[in-house]
Amino acid sequence: MLKKYLNKKIQRLFISKNFMKILYFFHFVVEGRNTKEINISFDNKKKRTQIVQNIIDIKNYKSYLEIGTFKDDLYGFIKCEKKIGVDPVSGGNVRKTSDNFFIENNQSFDFIFIDGLHHYAQVKKDIINSLKFLNKGGMIMMHDCMPRNYYYQAVPRSQLNWNGDTWKAFLEVRTKDNLDTYCCYADEGLGVILNRTNRNLLKLNLDNFKKLKFNDYANNYKEYLNLIEYEDLIKIIEKYE
């Protein structure tokens, strides 16, 4: 109980307005003042609730895992025969960190949605662990792959609306021969990972993707993300086996 209480207190500190103002100024000085803004809007795009449920229905998926449930905005909406939601603080039905869940897990899943801690290193671990428990013909989807400016993705967090540097982990997966990857232009950017040969390999030869600069992404985000619209994603999913 004490650990849970302290975790909540720490989380509240990190998202307090005064604390984030300090971090915003820090990011501005370090890099933010020299970065670009991308003209991205999700106003007329489908929500992840619609997209995930539509894919589950189209593919007749029977098992769903969500990493990072928070207020159950997605998890509470999804209808699937077997449904597990993992979060150390709130939402879902498993109160653990994703690392601990995967260590103890012995189940596999058709659809895995990653929306936990939005830090490159953690997202990368969640992807690697998710692939170990993905059924044949299953898929992984990641939230928050399309930050619109430097502050949306700056770590540590400096504003309430925040994607984190999830995009860096997704770009690293885009360079893998054995994983087919797309980003759906909807709901903050939905990264899609299919367990098959990569059909549009991203050729970025980097030793450490964490060091990628936001302006590199801003100048090349459509190519880097393999950006597609929802309708194109559905066509891909319908043919995926």
Domains and CATH numbers, the chain: 2-36+45-239 (3.40.50.150)
CB neighbours of residue 49 within 10 Å = 15
pTM above 0.75, yes or no: yes
Whole-number pLDDT of residue 13:
57
Task: Tell me the pLDDT tens digit for each residue of 63-108.
Answer: 999 999 999 999 999 999 999 999 999 999 999 999 999 999 999 9
Q: What is the residue whose two structure tokens read 């830090």?
A: 119
- Those residues of the chain that have pLDDT short of 70 are 1-15
SS3 138: strand
For position 102, what pLDDT does the model report?
A: 98
Q: DSSP strand E in 53-108: where?
A: 63-67, 82-86
Write the DSSP symbol of residue 32.
Answer: G
Phi-psi domain of 227 (left: phi exceeds 0; alpha: psi -120 through 50; beta: other) = beta
| In contact, 35 and 113? CB cutoff 8 Å | no
Tokens of 149: 């400016």
Query: How many residues does this entry show for the chain?
Result: 241
pLDDT score of 7:
56
